[in-house]
Amino acid sequence: AAIDVLRAAAVHLDQAPTEPAEVLARRCRAYIEQSAELVIQHVGRAVGAGPYCKDAHFARLITDLPVFLRQSHAEQDLAALGQLAGKQSQAVRPWSL
């Protein structure tokens, strides 16, 4: 599913290269970050402790990946995405009861 998000974003960017893409970029980052965190969680549960202890290459990779993911600022980025999405929806149609 993550690859589909990236492919759809690429198609959108190819079709509209001059349109602002901050919302699209932030949505992609959030989705990919969530996907990677799920992979880390499921890999750990699937393989158990062995590779973490006995496979230095695996242990290094699985330890480094969260460092790369933290280049995202998680909740701060999600809050910024929410602000941008709110502005977009207000521009399209104001919300009311």
Contact of 61 with 54, CB cutoff 8 Å: no
Task: Extract the runs of DSSP E, i.e. beta strands, from the chain.
Answer: none
Q: What is the domain partition of the chain in residue ranges?
A: 2-92
SS3 66: helix
Q: How far apart are CA 7 and CA 5, in angstroms?
A: 6
72-89: pLDDT as tens digits: 777 888 898 889 888 876
Contact yes or no for 6/29 (Cβ under 8 A): no
User: CB 33: neighbour CB atoms within 10 A?
Assistant: 19
Digit-coded pLDDT (tens) for 19-74:
999 889 989 999 999 999 999 999 999 999 999 999 999 999 999 999 988 887 77
